[in-house]
Amino acid sequence: APIQAPDLTTCHEAYDDSLKEKVVCCKPVVVTTIDFKFPDPSEPLRVRRPAKDMSQKDLAKFIEAIAKMKALPEDDPRNFIQQAQVHCSFCQDAYDQPGFPNIPVQVHGSWIFPAWHRFYVYFWEKILGNLIGDPTFAIPYWNWSDPEGMYLPEIYLDEKSPLYNGKRNKWHYDALLDFKYSFGDANPTSSEADDVILANLRLLNNDFTESKNTPKLFMGRVLRAGEEVVEEYGYLETVHNTIHQWVGPSTSPYWDMGNLHTAARDTVFWGHHANVDRLWNTYQLTRNMKPEFDTTDWLDATFVFPDPDVKGQAIKCKVRDSLDPSKFRYTYESVQPDEQQFLQ
């Protein structure tokens, strides 16, 4: 049977594995739950662009929206930290699966990883657009899959900007991203740069080609109701994990980006996940949008998110509704160089 979303009122203490301590990600709230509805097809299309290509005007809007989100009252579900706590609660065992006490809800480490994060980013983008009254507002993505994007984008590095977060590995502020990075590795030198870029591209290329007819390799392993995840990731999640570690500090508890408990408190998280989402979309395109798994165990898996518009209300979403970004009224700007190699 498909994994089912928990009742948000059942949230309990969570556990931060790096910190080895109990943490609180959510306060139980009384909620009504409604079913997810797609935005009206007449809504303008939001076009997500690479962070490095952002115009001054778009950057100013993004900064204004983030500043407003951070300034919302602490208990507002749209507040920046509240939004990050949603991630914390669904990745640090703050909920049990309905009907399976002690089996936690975990949105990483399985085939639901891409879909859950697609909804999550979608709601976040919408909140920001609403805060600045712009229905066309789209978040930037960090295109780390393209050679020109294999650095931390500048928009996140201005200490005076609300996009800034000091809890990162500062050693990586102008370093080349290495998809094989592990803690303690030195930055690639300039004479190593070309090889590292090539190795990054090769790794991605392998991820796409090897998994084309075997989606669980790309998406993650099967997970059904009552099952617990094991530490085994799909290709997309694996490279994504490395980047989390590369951005976050190299010592425990790896806050913010290197720890699922706190990762979404860094604005880079959202640019990173928009790119993860884009790469999933690219993968879908290589398969002509054919659903990756033809089983209700996946298609009817459900998630629940706090309603960005109504306090105390939750929205229930199904994996089957996540499969086509255009139904959410967002898209990625025309095919980028990194995708071309997969889309021939």
Give 260 or 315: the residue with its C-beta nearer to ligand C2O: 260
Torsion of CA 152, 155, 160, 165, to 10 degrees: -40
Rounded to a whole number of angstroms, the minimum distance from the CB of residue 240 to ligand C2O is 5
Q: Outline where DSSP puts E strands in the chain.
A: 14-16, 21-23, 32-35, 46-48, 96-97, 100-104, 302-306, 313-318, 330-332
Closer to ligand C2O at the Cβ: 211 or 262?
A: 262
Shortest gap between Cβ of 32 and ligand C2O (angstroms)?
26
Residue with token string 């294999």: 150
The residue among 91 and 103 lying less far from ligand C2O, judged by its C-beta, is 91
Q: Binders of ligand C2O among 231-250, rule CB under 6 A?
A: 240, 244
Smallest gap from Cβ 254 to ligand C2O, in A, equals 13
**In the complex, what is the shortest distance from the CB of residue 244 to ligand C2O, in angstroms, rounded to a whole number?**
6
What type of residue is 60? A
Q: How many CB atoms lie within 10 A of CB 194?
A: 12
* Minimum CB distance to ligand C2O, residue 14 (Å): 14
Check residue 265 for interaction with ligand C2O (CB under 6 A): no
User: Distance between CA atoms of 146 and 143, rounded to whole angstroms?
Assistant: 6
| Smallest gap from residue 303 Cβ to ligand C2O (A) | 12
- Output 117 or 168, the one with its CB closest to ligand C2O: 117
Helix (H) or strand (E) holding 64: helix 56-71
In the bound state with ligand C2O, the residue whose beta carbon lies nearer, of 87 and 126, is 87
Instruction: Determine the 3-state secondary structure of 272 from DSSP.
Output: helix
82-141 binders of ligand C2O (CB under 6 A): 87, 91, 108, 117
If the CB atoms of residues 4 and 275 are measured against ligand C2O, the closer one turns out to be 275
DSSP-based three-state secondary structure for 46: strand
Nearer to ligand C2O by C-beta: 142 or 328?
Answer: 142
Decide: residue 89, CB within 10 A, 0-12 exposed, 13-18 middle, 19+ buried: buried
Contacts 24+ apart (CB under 8 A), 230-233: 230/109, 231/109, 232/109, 233/108, 233/109, 233/113
Residues binding ligand C2O: number (CB under 6 A): 9
The strand pairing partners of 303, in sequence order, are 317
Compute the least distance from the CB of residue 342 to ligand C2O, in Å.
21
**What are the residues binding ligand C2O (CB under 6 A)?**
87, 91, 108, 117, 240, 244, 260, 263, 273
